[in-house]
Chains A and B, each alone.
Chain A
Amino acid sequence: QQQVKQSPQSLIVQKGGIPIINCAYENTAFDYFPWYQQFPGKGPALLIAIRPDVSEKKEGRFTISFNKSAKQFSLHIMDSQPGDSATYFCAASIADSSYKLIFGSGTRLLVRP
């Protein structure tokens, strides 16, 4: 119930492509869904986040699509660049649990030049 399932485990795209990373959850009490980007040896950095009252959010080249009925959300990276090569984590949290984050397993993205 507390898990967030993330796929794919790894992803390779060409520069300019649109990688899509998917996450699914079971607990309908989750009310905050952030995406983090992590480079090797660094801490995660918040990319973009969404609340369940909207179906899509865009920030720059990053877009979250949220499907509340299916309990799924995804990250799209438009016009991907080699500098986007990193590990991406989805997460979810609940207000009444101090907003502690439950992380997905991560997706290693490689963008080829």
Chain B
Amino acid sequence: GAVVSQHPSWVICKSGTSVKIECRSLDFQATTMFWYRQFPKQSLMLMATSNEGSKATYEQGVEKDKFLINHASLTLSTLTVTSAHPEDSSFYICSASDSSIKFYEQYFGPGTRLTVT
């Protein structure tokens, strides 16, 4: 149980274009979803927290107009990187938690490798 999927697993896009990453909870209702980015050999940095049906809460220093997060349902959240630039190339990972079970446990997706050329 508690499986989280991400799509795509990797994506290459040209500078200036936008790319959307999907995060789905497959067997539970994700009342809260989190988005992280991870640079090579570094730790995970939280970008934003979203609750279903509410606007995302962004961490300090994360541009909310550049990283658009939508959590429209209890099983799906999307991250759209708008006007991507090479410095946005990173490993993006989502996680989800279910407040009806163990609200403090986060289940992570497999990650999406974004390369901006």
Contact = CB atoms under 8 A, between A and B. Distances in A.
Interface string B33-75: 0100000011111100101000001000000000000000000
Contacts of B106: 34, 46, 99, 101
B32 A104 contact: no
Nearest to B34: A100
Which of under 10, 10 to 19, 20 to 34, or 35 or more describes the interface residues of B? 20 to 34
Contact of A89 (B43, B91, B97, B104): B43
B111 A43 contact: yes
B100 to A, nearest CB: 14
Contacts, number: 56
A98 B32 contact: yes
Interface residues of A, number: 23
A93 B103 CA distance: 12
Contact of B104 (A43, A95, A108): A95
Contacts of B51: 98
B93 interface: yes
Contacts of A93: 104
Interface of A: 32, 34, 36, 41-46, 49, 89, 93, 95, 98-106, 108
Interface of B: 4, 6, 32, 34, 41-46, 49, 51, 57, 91, 93, 95, 97, 103-111, 113
- Which are the 8 A-B pairs with shortest beta-carbon distances? A43-B108, A99-B104, A43-B111, A103-B43, A43-B110, A32-B104, A44-B108, A103-B44
